Chains A and B, each alone.
Chain A
Amino acid sequence: MKLFKYMVVGFMFGFGMWKLEAISTFRIIEMFHFQSFHMYGIIISGVVLGIIITQLFKQGKVKTIQGITHTFNDKSHEWWRYILGGIIFGMGWALTGVCSGMMFVLMGSGYTVFAIFIASAMLGTFTYGYFRKVLPH
C-alpha cells in the first residue's frame, strides 16, 4: 500500500503522455522539424508549472507528506557529461522517437517488443557504469 500511491502517479503520467501523443515517434520528428508547437507546449507548460511547484516546496510553503521541507540537490558542474551525454541521449530520443519514460508507456500499451528496447537501454546504462572512470565528465 505504501508503494501503491507511486503507481497511481505513474498511471496518471503514462495515461496523460499517451493521450498527449508524446509517445509518438511522429510527434518527435515533428518537434525536431519545428513544424508544430504541440511538443514545445507540453514541455514549456510543464516547466512553467514545475518552476512554481518547485519554488513552493523550496520556500517551505508546501511541506512533504513527512511534514518537512523538501531538499533539492544542486547538480554538479561537470560540463562535459551534460554536453556529451545530452547529445548521445538526444540521438537515441530522435532515432526511436522514445525516451526513457515513454518506453514503459509503449510497452504497457501492447508493444511488447519494447522489452528488447528496455533491455538494450539497461545494457547502455551498464556500459556507462562500466566505462564511467575513463569517460570525460
Chain B
Amino acid sequence: MYETFEQIHAFISQPWPWWMGGITIGSTLFLLLYFGKEFGLSANLRTMCAADGAGDYADFFEFDWGKQGWNLMVALGAMFGGYIAANYFGGDGMAHVSQATVDTLNQIAGQDLLTTKTVPLIPGKDVIHDDVPAFWNLYSWGSLFTLRGLLIIVGGGFLIGFGARYAGGCTSGHAISGLADLQIPSLVAVVGFFVGGLLMTWLILPHILRIGF
C-alpha cells in the first residue's frame, strides 16, 4: 500500500509533458463553463480594485463586484495548487529547458548571474547540488532594493495589470477562452502579446538583466 502511494507520488512529481497542458487547461475551461462562468483570471485585478473602493475614482470600477467572488476563489485555489505542487510534488525543482535556452540565459544574464548547466524552475531558488549558488536571484524581498529587481517585480506587475485590462483579457481570457471561441479580437490580442513579448525578450530584457545593482 505504502509502496503504491510512493509510486503515485513519484509519477506525479516528474516533470509533466506539454500535452498535460491540454488536459489541465481543457478541464479548467470545461468545469468553469459547466458552472456557467468564464475562464479569465485577470478580471480578479479589477474586482480587487473595486473592492478596495476604486469606484470612487473611476466608474470603470463601479460594477457588481460582489458577484465576482467565484473568480477570486479560482485564484485562491490556484495559490493552494502552487503551494502543494511546490512543496510536495516539486520533483527536482528544475526547469527542463533546452540546452539552447541554457546558452541563451548565460548570454543575456551578466556575469553576476552565474554560469550553470542546471536551471531552477523559479529564479532565486537555491540550487543545492554541486557548489552552484543561486541563479538569477530575483524573486525575493531583498531584490526589491535593487534597481533590477524593482523593475522586474514592480514594473512587470504594472504592465501586466494595465495591459490585461486595456486589452480586455490576459493569457486565460484571450489566448484560451477567446481563441477557443474563435474570436478574431482575441487573436489580435494574442498577436499583440507576442509582439510585446518578443520586443521585451530580445531588445529590453537583456539590458535590464545587465543592471548590476
> A residues near B, CB below 8 A?
3-33, 35-43, 45-51, 53-54, 57-58, 62, 64-66, 68, 70, 72, 74-79, 81-101, 103-114, 116-130, 132, 135
Quick one: which of A17, A40, A88 contacts B163, CB cutoff 8 A?
A: A88
**A88→B210 CA distance, assembly (Å):** 22
Q: Inside 8 A of B175's CB, which chain A residues have their CB?
A: 43, 47
The yes or no answer to B212 lying at the interface (CB within 8 A) is no
**B interface secondary structure, majority:** helix
A90 near B193 (CB under 8 angstroms)? yes
A130 near B24 (CB under 8 angstroms)? no
A51 near B180 (CB under 8 angstroms)? yes
Quick one: which of B58, B144, B158, B190 contacts A123, CB cutoff 8 A?
A: B158
**A interface secondary structure, majority:** helix
Residue ID in chain A nearest B27 by CB atoms: A12
A30 near B98 (CB under 8 angstroms)? yes
The yes or no answer to B78 lying at the interface (CB within 8 A) is yes
Q: Inside 8 A of A47's CB, which chain B residues have their CB?
A: 175-176, 179-180
Known A-B contacts: A4-B73, A113-B144. Give 4 more (CB < 8 A). Answer: A26-B105, A84-B166, A86-B163, A96-B156
With an 8 Å Cβ cutoff, the count of chain B residues facing the other chain is: 129
- B18 CB, min distance to chain A CBs, angstroms: 3
Residue ID in chain B nearest A30 by CB atoms: B101
A7 near B20 (CB under 8 angstroms)? no
B195 near A50 (CB under 8 angstroms)? no
Quick one: which of B122, B157, B160, B186 contacts A24, CB cutoff 8 A?
A: B122
B171 near A100 (CB under 8 angstroms)? yes
Knowing A47-B180, A121-B161, the reply to whether A84 touches B192 (Cβ < 8 A) is yes
Proximity string of chain B (136-164) to chain A, C-beta cutoff 8 Å, 1 when within and 0 when not: 10111101100000011111111111111
The yes or no answer to B124 lying at the interface (CB within 8 A) is yes
Proximity string of chain B (23-52) to chain A, C-beta cutoff 8 Å, 1 when within and 0 when not: 111111111111111000110111011001
Residue ID in chain B nearest A14 by CB atoms: B81
Q: Inside 8 A of B33's CB, which chain A residues have their CB?
A: 53-54, 57, 62, 64, 70
Q: Inside 8 A of A97's CB, which chain B residues have their CB?
A: 123
- A26 CB, min distance to chain B CBs, angstroms: 4
Residue ID in chain A nearest B22 by CB atoms: A45
